[in-house]
Amino acid sequence: MLIILGCCILVGLIAVLGFYAAYYKLLVEPYSLTPVLFVPEGMFECLSILVMFFGVLQVSVYYALQRIEIIDDSEDNII
């Protein structure tokens, strides 16, 4: 789950940077405007809650993985 989360964050970051570059080239640069990066006040609080949520989810997955019993059939020759 952590690898998938990391890949999703990476793909999302690349997509946001791509959209921002397109926005800048198509709308800001032709009109000689000054771009302003808008970050709402609660954005960092929401991000910290999201990170905490995924951290809590990792605990249940780790506990479930520790309870898995591996059955090895190589010792039993049924032939």
| pLDDT tens string 1-56 | 778 888 888 998 899 889 988 888 888 888 887 777 776 778 788 888 888 888 88
Render 1-62 in DSSP notation, one character per residue: -HHHHHHHHHHHHHHHHHHHHHHIIIIITTTTPPP-----TTHHHHHHHHHHHHHHHHHHHH
- Residue 72: the pLDDT is 64
- Residue 15: the pLDDT is 93
Per-residue confidence at 75, pLDDT binned at 50, 70, 90? Answer: low
DSSP 8-state class, residue 67: T
3-class SS of residue 65: helix
Does this model's pTM top 0.85? no
- Residue 78: the pLDDT is 58
Pair of tokens at residue 42: 């609660």
Which CA distances in Å does 22 have to 2, 11, 16, 38, 75?
A: 30, 16, 10, 17, 61
- Residue 56: the pLDDT is 82
